[in-house]
């Protein structure tokens, strides 16, 4: 008995100690996890802001004061720009350390070291693409005296100062869950994140989609359905107008289906395809396939789906369920490769500026809302950086001046000194930047020094993605596809360069190794006997210098000049200043290609004549300044009217519905106010619906008038529902959902030719459609009653026409809507808020750390577009009035803190859902943040290196 008790107790003790110290699969060490002092429970004690804290920061030149306002935004008062970046690194690490690391790991392809071998393919894809590799190369070549080099080094010092001071109980929750410690932050990680931005915004391999289309419909039809110029023009750079302009064409018919038995397209004999089409090792291969076909037209509320899945899996099942491409969202843009998504109405960014003569208060107004994947914590971090190099008075305790700055007050005097600094640092509009001074407010990307979108005392700016094509694919010929050493170029064999990649597991074990090959163009994808190299501007250039310099601009011209250094990802920068100037420029490098100049086809890699021949001169890039119309708008539309410049920027532009709607609103408003700008950002009106619904109603009625049909009743009901709709995507709207059913059915029927052969004859054609043309092309076809595209290839012996297809679509939409939503009279199920919701997932997709199922005002292609799965949207909304005093308003869906139990974790989401903006505090001195406006104070002192 005693022996048994002894053995039992020993076994129990050993087992408990074992699970206490060691992780078991995805389960972290239990003892460390539940430790009531140092484990996850310690999160509660770190939830709030530091009330009054002093800390040392190695590398700091002078004292820096950080004041957190009542929205938990840090206002950083420093005496040098580099000190401001050190402090920024420190406060960002305090609030977002896990985010910093996971997005860096996702970019570097080292997620397996955290999450194990199931992320191996994701890591392989990332490393094959070479984002981290190119960032390291860029860092090695970077002149250490440049602002970028000094800024990212300073930022790293700040991050590492925070990490060095961390005790186990200070670790963010996610480190407890993963059983890991934070890594030291290297300066070049900031460059990784610039590359990551490039991947998010400028990774578009439409060439591959096009290649898969060729055997289905032929070259001329592919070019027509996925044109290099949008059939609807509402350009960012106002041209000859009037706009919107509809450049309707008659589309050529699809070529006969031409597939050989092995699935190769007859029109591209030297570019074999796998049965699944996309097969390269780049991220698109692993990520683009991660989304299963949608069996339902409209998705179930994602939080319900989460509950269902959760019930099936034990313990840390969220980890096992993390989709390979979804860790650190923002990086995972499978849609980036998909032509369907490229033309998708579900997402997009907006910015616009209004001249003083069209505003109620006579001051320029600027609005911006970049749309990205929504996550918790947010991709953005709000901050105010104030740099004054000269203190008017140095109080007692000052130490001798160093070589880098004036006499500096030590602890306790800094606050008073800052307070006395008052308002005399403000420059008049138009003045040149005063040396090292800076006073900029806006949103930064955690991991990058400086404000990306925001305003200073004179200028405000925001970006939308230009969406231009900066990535080309080249079909290469290798000496030995199995073990290549050389590639053919201009008749001679050139050596391939290689890099060896090792993939480590959670405990440092080697999971796999692989060789990545490069031609002079870039990384090589090897698939069977096929080799494709990639030239991608993101791997060659950056843009951080431009962003950093632009923060100093005193007027529009200085801002535009500074942003000339920005190369990629190309952005439509809208800028306004206090002098009343507004401007827009598509910023970045625009490749020039030989021949027809197009980049939407896979090029011959055996000839150097296929390579880029330069870049657009700056003067040719889309640009406008103080236009006669009094406002400027960009919303990811084709930025320049092809009648002004027919040069190639990309193929398959999304329809400019959002640009049309914003222009419509601004044309109708000659006295724009801040509040109107705010309302426009969540305007539920739809240019898309305004264009399409009348056409569908007319054609549906014509179909009924043509004669009795078996489905006449369903068509009538469908027309009734469509006719009842006010074409607005308000939350309570009960007819918007039906329009989406109709659109889905119409596209399935119209674009049957674009379905892969394996799926021919399937009812749900969309699931297998290679790509979906833009809705501008759809509207174009709707104008043409005799277009050959109306015929359904799947119905042999029948020739459908426009009225027939529209009628069938309406009837089918009605049937599907009844099936999925029930009786239209039961309006609760039909409410838009039930159909489309926003889901803001935590970076690890753990539902309990996420905010899911939020109602949203906005639908496909509205100014506030909602995505199908609800995971993308307005990542930041900002309105700035550039009057005598600059006033800023903004919000993002989340909160400043990455700590899920902090009151600042998701505090802004309710206001964001309602379309409200917070007043952004833009103090000139710390004194303006006294009292209730101040929630925390941190004094950073120059400290020793650890």
Partner 1 sequence: MLAALLAAGGTVGLGWWFVALVGAGAGASSQPSGRPGLEAAAGSALGWAVLLGWSAFQGPIGLVARRVGPIFHLSGTAFVALTLGYGALLAASAAVFVAAARR
Using a CB cutoff of 8 Å and minimum separation of 24, what contacts does 821-828 make?
821/298, 821/737, 824/717, 824/721, 824/734, 824/738, 827/734
Q: Which is nearer to partner 1, 362 or 910 (CB)?
A: 910
Query: Does 944 engage in binding with partner 1 (CB under 8 A)?
Result: no
9 binds partner 1 (CB under 8 A): yes
The nearest distance, CB 376 to partner 1, in angstroms, is: 11
**Short-list 130, 149, 150, CA closest to 141:** 149
* Residue 767 binds partner 1 (CB under 8 A): no
Determine the length of the chain: 946
CB crowding 381-418: b at 16 or more within 10 Å, else e? bbbbbbbbbebeebbeebeeeeeebeebbbeebbbebb
Where does 544-593 have alpha helices with state H?
544-550, 556-562
* Residues between 10 and 29 with contacts to partner 1, criterion CB under 8 A: 10, 12-13, 16-17, 20-21
Least Å distance between CB 213 and partner 1? 44
Minimum separation from the CB atom of position 915 to partner 1 (A)? 27
Q: Judged by CB under 8 A, which stretch of 80-88, 158-166, 589-597, 844-852 contacts partner 1?
A: 844-852
Contact track, partner 1, 39-78, x by CB under 8 A: xxxxxxxxxx------------------------------
Residue whose entry in the numeric block shows the structure tokens 């109306």 = 790
Q: How far is the CB of 313 from partner 1 (least distance, A)?
A: 8
Query: Could you say whether residue 5 binds partner 1 (CB under 8 A)?
Result: yes
Among positions 18, 24, 34, 919, the unique one binding partner 1 when judged by CB under 8 A: 34
Interacting positions 881-900 with partner 1 (CB under 8 A):
900
Hey, which residues does 541 pair with through a beta bridge? none
Q: From the CB of residue 432, how many other CB atoms can be counted at a distance below 10 Å? A: 11
Which segment (2-10, 151-159, 252-260, 612-620) binds partner 1 by CB under 8 A?
2-10
Residue 902 CB, shortest distance to partner 1, in Å, is 9
322 near partner 1 (CB under 8 A): no
Give the phi and the psi of residue 563 in degrees, each rounded to 5: -75, -5
Our CA dihedral for 479, 480, 484, 490, rounded to 10 degrees, sits at 20
Binding mask 448-467 for partner 1 (x = CB under 8 A): --------------------
Tell me whether residue 31 or residue 430 sits nearer to partner 1 (CB atom): 31
197 part of the interface to partner 1, by CB under 8 A: no
| H-helix or E-strand spanning residue 113 | helix 112-115
* 2 is a site residue for partner 1 (CB under 8 A): yes
In the complex, least distance from residue 870 CB atom to partner 1, rounded to whole angstroms? 20
Least distance CB 179 / partner 1 (angstroms): 13
**Region for 527 from its dihedrals, namely left if φ exceeds 0, alpha if ψ lies in -120 to 50, beta otherwise:** beta
DSSP label of 588: S
In DSSP terms, 78 is beta-bridged to 387
What span, in angstroms and rounded, lies between the C-alpha atoms of 325 and 332? 5
Check binding of 35 to partner 1 (CB under 8 A). yes
Whether residue 310 contacts residue 555, with contact meaning beta carbons closer than 8 Å, is answered with no
Whichever of 32 and 200 has its CB closer to partner 1, that residue is: 32
Q: For partner 1, which is the closer residue by CB, 12 or 670?
A: 12
For partner 1, what does the binding mask look like between residues 788 and 827, x meaning CB under 8 A?
----------------------------------------
Would you count residue 166 as binding partner 1 (CB under 8 A)?
no
Query: Please, what is the Cα angle at 186 between 183 and 190, to 5 degrees?
Result: 115
What whole-number distance in Å separates Cα of residue 127 and Cα of residue 110? 9
In which order are the strands placed within the sheet that holds 837-842? 375-376, 837-842, 851-855
Nearest Cα to Cα of residue 916 among 684, 681, 728, 729: 681
Q: Which position among 57, 115, 173, 909 is part of the footprint of partner 1 (CB under 8 A)? A: 173
The residue with tokens 């033309």 is: 343
Q: What span, in angstroms and rounded, lies between the C-alpha atoms of 686 and 578?
A: 32
55 has which bridge partners? 940
Least distance (Å) between residue 101 CB and partner 1: 19
Residue for token digits 């990802």? 569
Contact residue for partner 1 among 166, 266, 901, 913 (CB under 8 A): 901
Residues of the shown chain interacting with partner 1 in the complex, contacts defined by CB under 8 A:
2, 5-6, 8-10, 12-13, 16-17, 20-21, 30-32, 34-48, 173, 177, 310, 314-318, 846-849, 900-901
């Amino acid at each position: 008995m005693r022996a048994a008790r002894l053995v039992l107790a020993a076994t129990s003790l050993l087992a408990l100690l074992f699970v206490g110290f060691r992780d078991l699969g995805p389960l972290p060490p239990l003892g460390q996890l539940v430790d009531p002092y140092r484990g996850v429970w310690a999160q509660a004690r770190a939830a709030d802001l530091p009330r009054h804290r002093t800390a040392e920061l190695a590398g700091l030149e002078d004292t820096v004061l950080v004041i957190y306002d009542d929205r938990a935004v840090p206002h950083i008062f420093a005496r040098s720009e580099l000190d401001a970046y050190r402090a920024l690194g420190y406060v960002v690490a305090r609030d977002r350390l896990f985010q910093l690391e996971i997005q860096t790991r996702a970019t570097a392809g080292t997620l397996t070291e955290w999450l194990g071998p199931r992320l191996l393919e994701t890591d392989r894809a990332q490393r094959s693409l070479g984002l981290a590799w190119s960032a390291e190369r860029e860092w090695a070549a970077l002149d250490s005296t440049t602002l970028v080099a000094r800024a990212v080094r300073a930022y790293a010092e700040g991050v590492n100062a925070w990490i060095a001071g961390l005790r186990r109980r200070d670790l963010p929750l996610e480190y407890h869950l993963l059983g890991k410690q934070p890594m030291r932050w290297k300066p070049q990680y900031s460059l990784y994140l610039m590359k990551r931005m490039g991947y998010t915004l400028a990774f578009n391999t439409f060439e591959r989609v096009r290649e898969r289309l060729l055997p289905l419909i032929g070259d001329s039809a592919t070019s027509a359905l996925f044109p290099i110029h949008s059939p609807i023009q509402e350009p960012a750079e106002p041209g000859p107008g009037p706009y919107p302009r509809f450049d309707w064409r008659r589309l050529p018919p699809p070529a006969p289906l031409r597939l050989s038995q092995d699935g190769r397209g007859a029109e591209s004999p030297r570019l074999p395809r796998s049965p699944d089409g996309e097969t390269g090792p780049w991220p698109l291969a692993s990520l683009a396939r991660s989304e299963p076909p949608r069996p339902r037209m409209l998705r179930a509320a994602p939080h319900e789906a989460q509950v269902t899945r959760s019930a099936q899996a034990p313990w840390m099942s969220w980890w096992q369920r993390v989709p390979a491409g979804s860790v650190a969202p923002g990086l995972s843009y499978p849609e980036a490769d998909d032509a369907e998504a490229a033309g998708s109405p579900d997402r997009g960014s907006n910015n616009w500026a209004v001249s003083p003569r069209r505003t109620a208060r006579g001051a320029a107004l600027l609005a911006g809302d970049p749309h990205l994947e929504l996550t918790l914590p947010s991709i953005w971090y709000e901050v105010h950086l104030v740099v004054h190099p000269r203190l008017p008075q140095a109080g007692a305790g000052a130490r001798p001046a160093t070589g880098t700055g004036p006499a500096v007050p030590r602890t306790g005097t800094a606050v008073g000194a800052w307070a006395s600094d008052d308002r005399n640092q403000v420059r008049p509009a138009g003045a040149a930047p005063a040396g090292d001074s800076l006073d900029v407010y806006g949103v930064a990307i955690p991991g990058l020094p400086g404000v990306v979108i925001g305003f200073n005392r004179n200028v405000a700016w925001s970006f939308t993605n230009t969406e231009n094509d900066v990535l080309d694919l080249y079909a290469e010929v290798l000496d030995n596809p199995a073990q290549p050493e050389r590639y053919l170029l201009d008749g001679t064999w050139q050596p391939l360069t290689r890099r060896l990649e090792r993939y480590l597991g959670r405990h440092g074990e080697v999971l796999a190794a692989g060789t990545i090959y490069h031609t002079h163009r870039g990384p090589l994808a090897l698939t069977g006997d096929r080799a494709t190299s990639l030239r991608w501007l993101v791997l060659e250039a950056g843009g951080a210098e431009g962003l950093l310099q632009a923060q100093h601009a005193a007027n529009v011209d200085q801002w535009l000049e500074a942003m000339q250094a920005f190369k990629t990802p190309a952005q439509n920068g809208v800028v306004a200043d206090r002098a009343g100037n507004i401007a827009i420029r598509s910023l970045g490098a625009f490749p020039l290609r030989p021949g027809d100049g197009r980049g939407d086809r896979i090029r011959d890699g055996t000839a150097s004549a296929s390579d880029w021949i330069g870049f657009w001169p700056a003067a040719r890039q889309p640009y406008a300044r103080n236009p006669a119309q009094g406002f400027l708008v960009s919303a990811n539309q084709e930025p320049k009217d092809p009648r002004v410049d027919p040069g190639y920027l990309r193929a398959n532009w999304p329809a400019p519905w959002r640009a049309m709607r914003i222009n419509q609103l601004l044309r109708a408003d000659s006295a724009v106010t801040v509040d109107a700008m705010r309302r426009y950002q969540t305007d539920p009106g739809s240019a898309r619906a305004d264009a399409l619904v009348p056409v569908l109603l007319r054609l549906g009625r014509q179909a009924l008038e043509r004669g009795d049909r078996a489905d006449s009743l369903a068509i009538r009901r469908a027309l009734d529902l469509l006719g009842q709709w006010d074409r607005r995507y308000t939350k309570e709207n009960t007819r918007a959902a039906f329009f989406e059913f109709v659109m889905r059915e119409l596209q399935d029927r119209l674009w049957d030719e674009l379905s892969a052969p394996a799926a021919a004859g399937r009812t749900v054609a969309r699931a297998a459609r290679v790509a979906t043309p833009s809705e501008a092309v759809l509207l174009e076809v709707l104008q043409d009653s005799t277009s050959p595209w109306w015929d359904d290839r799947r119905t042999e012996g029948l020739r459908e026409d426009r009225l027939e297809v529209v009628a069938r679509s309406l009837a089918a939409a009605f049937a599907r809507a009844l099936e999925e939503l029930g009786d239209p009279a039961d309006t609760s199920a039909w409410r838009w808020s039930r159909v489309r919701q926003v889901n803001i997932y935590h970076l690890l997709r753990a539902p309990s750390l996420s905010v899911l199922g939020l109602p949203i005002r906005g639908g496909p292609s509205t100014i506030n577009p909602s995505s199908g799965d609800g995971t993308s949207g307005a990542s930041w909304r900002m309105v700035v009035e550039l009057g005598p005093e600059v006033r800023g308003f903004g919000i993002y869906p989340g909160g400043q803190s990455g700590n899920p139990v902090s009151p600042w974790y998701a505090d802004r989401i309710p206001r964001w859902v309602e379309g409200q903006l917070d007043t952004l505090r833009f103090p000139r001195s710390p004194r303006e943040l006294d009292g209730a406006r101040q929630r925390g104070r941190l004094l950073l002192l120059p400290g020793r290196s650890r």
